[in-house]
Structure 1
Amino acid sequence: MKIRLTIIAVILLSLCGTVTAKEIENNDMDNLKLTQVWDKKFPKIDKVNHRKVTFTNRFGIELAADLYEPEDMSGKLSALAVAGPFGAVKEQVSGRYAQAMAERGFVTMAFDPSFTGESGGEPRNTASPDINTEDFSAAIDYLATLPEVDADRIGVIGICGWGGMALNAAAIDTRIKATVTSTMYNMSEQMHNGYQFAPMSAADLHKTKVAINAQRTADAIAGKPEYVGGFPKECPVDVPQFMLDYWDFYMSPERGYIDRAPACSTGWTKTTPLSFINTPLDTFIGDIITPVLLIHGEKAHSRYFSEEAFVRLKGDNKHLMIIPGANHTDLYDNLDVIPYDDIEQFFKSNLK
């Protein structure tokens, strides 16, 4: 049986019913209430100091972040802002990367993008190519003010869907001196075109637009958004392997499950795709002249996103690293394949 993946089901990482905004915990985000206990999906490294911080982007949204610093700091250090994947929060993948880089001598910050996790913004669990690109620049604002950070040596790491946002930020924010993407998704391309292996026709795209705009009307009448719902508790059947890989990560308590994450709870708002469909993230990445390292798994269904970005980048310091045998989610938490040493060397070579 041939499986037709709809844009809503795939992008919003959902295989179940709808949820209303009233069912989301901590819905009032005017004053952020940050969890102080260690609730990460990875162990704490003793030689890395950790503290919660907040900062505000230029849209006035207050963001929550985990700041990781080497235990023994001397002089001003290079710094990294880290975010992703799409549907995740800082307690999962971005925090793992951030802490690992802090252990290697960087000041790092893993942040929850606007509208997600412990960060502010309404409605909850929505995404925007503009606002979420801005979130990276707002993180640079914060890092540049820290006394232990050399403001001329700041880079970014974008994972999965936030890889596309990281490249978009690097195209406009000249303070970003080096960029790493890991298992990158170009969310705009995927939402507009479908997958390379399951392309969306013009007629299907039009039907998608009609459906999402009808949802806007329904949300306006209801006075609140509807959500697509996160992954189901039971393992799905008759879906592609990469969806099973996602399910295994997000719904396994020992790997990635945390109820604050969109993929583990409500999913995204049903209208989230609208701005991505109409706003290509990679339009100006050819303007990037600073170094870029694109990392992707050889077996990842999403590999072509990094390969396409590599072609579109015009700078003379771009690198594409393909990890043998790795799939998309291996680069979330598989320590046997995440190339931390290569990421460390890339940043140390280019943030100096």
Structure 2
Amino acid sequence: MIQRMVFSVGGDSVVGDLHLPDEGATGSVVVVAGPMTSVKEQVTGVYAAALAARGIAALAIDHRTYGQSGGAPQNYENWRWKVEDLAAALDALAVDVPGIDPNRLGAAAICLGCGYAATLAAGDARIRSLGLVAGYYRDPKAMRANDPEGFDARVAQGRQARLHYESTGEVLSIPAAALEGDAAMQTADTVDYYTQRAAVPNYRNAFAIMSREHFLPFDVQIAAPRIQVPVHMVHSEKALSPNWARAFYDALPGPKSLEWLISRGQTDFYDDADLISASADQLAQHFKATL
């Protein structure tokens, strides 16, 4: 069962799909956060459906400026906005869905969504449990140290694009995923996923350049020491930055567990049936024990 939800954040509509177990909403529920630029018909919807099939109600949303949701500029990857959207989703779930217990709210996440969910959990006591899959646990200090001039230049490019938007209303954009030219994601793995395997009608392969002002400095690692709730992590040596996953896990002060699976890379966590099943089994077991 899928229940359409629409709620408001900052005057803009946010559209989501609440995936329900056969028995409906029965107390606990999780909001699902996903990769940069993604929409609810892609990986978040896949995991929400997998969790619902295992008895956990789960909400996948189109963040503001993406998919069916409102907001401007389009395709703006602003981590603060995304965390606000997830917090508003908790409000909507607690108020609008009969059978939901507001004291049994959690978050599941995949890729960069792990950073959004972790940041939310670090500052919002309503999140009682986290389940994180193939997280992109960004460490911008390390990224900048590796290429100071390039890092600073891209941040400055984002700032200039924002100023251009504010003065002209024009959104300067590049592809979200492409192998040639400038793009937000430039690996064969991500390009194949976003331009072929997950090229759903609701998705636009675009990235507002002004996103780089906020996206590049987004530090996921700093959230870990502030998270007190139980956390279960799933990762792979072939997924994004396994060393950053270890560092994030080591910094978690509360109850925690980490399971390593075998993957070909990062995006097979998004649509490989066996890998999704194995990850969802672990998340469902974790949430049933902690929510």
Same fold (TM over 0.5): yes
Amino acid at match of 1:156: A
- State the shift of 1:242 in Å: 7.8
Deviations 1:233-265 (A, max 9, x none): xx769xxx981111221122xx31124324xx2
- State the shift of 1:306 in Å: 1.9
Deviations 1:56-88 (A, max 9, x none): 23x333210001112224x83211111212121
Which segments of structure 1 move beyond 6 Å, counting only runs of 4 or more? Answer: none
- 1:259-298 matches, within 5 Å, as 259-262=201-204, 265=205, 267-298=206-237
Amino acid at match of 2:257: H
Distance 1:65 1:181, change over 3 A: same
- 1:230-249 matches, within 5 Å, as 230-232=176-178, 243-249=187-193
Distance 1:278 1:251, change over 3 A: closer
User: How many angstroms apart in 1 are the aligned matches of 2:162 and 2:104?
Assistant: 43
- Do the aligned residues in 1 keep the contact of 2:157 with 2:213 (CA within 8 Å)? no
Secondary structure of the structure 2 residue equivalent to 1:205 = helix
Give the equivalent residue in structure 2 for 1:67: 18
Deviations 1:195-220 (A, max 9, x none): 9xxx6332333333333333334434
Distance 1:77 1:326, change over 3 A: farther
Q: Equivalent of 2:200, from 249, 258, 261?
A: 258
Give the equivalent residue in structure 2 for 1:208: 154
- State the shift of 1:127 in Å: 1.7
User: How many angstroms apart in 2 are the aligned matches of 1:284 and 1:329?
Assistant: 24
- Do the aligned residues in 2 keep the contact of 1:242 with 1:301 (CA within 8 Å)? no
Secondary structure of the structure 2 residue equivalent to 1:152 = strand
Give the equivalent residue in structure 1 for 2:115: 164
Deviations 1:85-132 (A, max 9, x none): 212100011011101111111222111112111111111110212111
The root-mean-square deviation of aligned C-alpha atoms, in Å, is: 2.5
Secondary structure of the structure 1 residue equivalent to 2:187 = helix
Q: Which runs of 5+ in 2 are unaligned?
A: none
- 1:1-352 matches, within 5 Å, as 49-57=1-9, 59-73=10-24, 76-145=26-95, 146-187=97-138, 189-190=139-140, 193-194=142-143, 200-232=146-178, 243-252=187-196, 255-262=197-204, 265=205, 267-315=206-254, 317-338=255-276, 339-351=279-291
Deviates most, 164-173 or 292-301: 292-301
Greater C-alpha Rg: 1
Give the equivalent residue in structure 2 for 1:14: none
Deviations 1:112-162 (A, max 9, x none): 112111111111110212111111111111111222112211111111111
User: How many angstroms apart in 2 are the aligned matches of 1:115 and 1:242?
Assistant: 22
Provide the aligned length of Structure 1 versus Structure 2: 286
- Do the aligned residues in 1 keep the contact of 2:33 with 2:116 (CA within 8 Å)? no
Distance 1:291 1:242, change over 3 A: farther
Q: Which runs of 5+ in 1 are unaligned?
A: 1-48
User: How many angstroms apart in 2 are the aligned matches of 1:157 and 1:209?
Assistant: 29
Percent identity between matched residues is 28
TM-score, normalised relative to structure 2: 0.89
- State the shift of 1:341 in Å: 1.3
Secondary structure of the structure 2 residue equivalent to 1:337 = helix
Deviations 1:311-336 (A, max 9, x none): 22111x11112112442111101121
